Amino acid sequence: MTLSMTIAGSERIINDFLNNEKPKWLATCNKVTKHTRASKHGKFIVCPECHQGQFVFHFSWSALTCQHCDTMIDKYDWKLL
């Protein structure tokens, strides 16, 4: 099993949880800041529009299109999980 298969599986599990549970603590998650760094294994960020997420491995972008709702979201509006 490769790392990309593991990440895709983990992402699916987390998104299923977020979709089914709609946790209250999601509203209190920290947002991405200019000091946010991705670790070796990446960070999981959550879209503020559809509450689905994805892994990112760097933050050298200014906006990112959500893979689930196709909305262009500014970097500092994404939430960190």
Taking the domains of the chain in order of start, what are their residue ranges? 3-80
C-beta of residue 50 within 8 angstroms of C-beta of residue 64: no
Of all residues in the chain, what percent are helix, strand and coil, respectively (each to 5)?
A: 35, 20, 45
How many Å apart are CA 26 and CA 5, to the nearest integer? 26
pTM value > 0.95: no
Q: What is the pLDDT along the chain (81 residues), one digit of tens a residue?
A: 454 545 667 778 877 777 776 666 677 789 999 999 998 989 999 998 988 889 999 999 999 999 989 999 999 999 998
* AA identity, residue 68: H
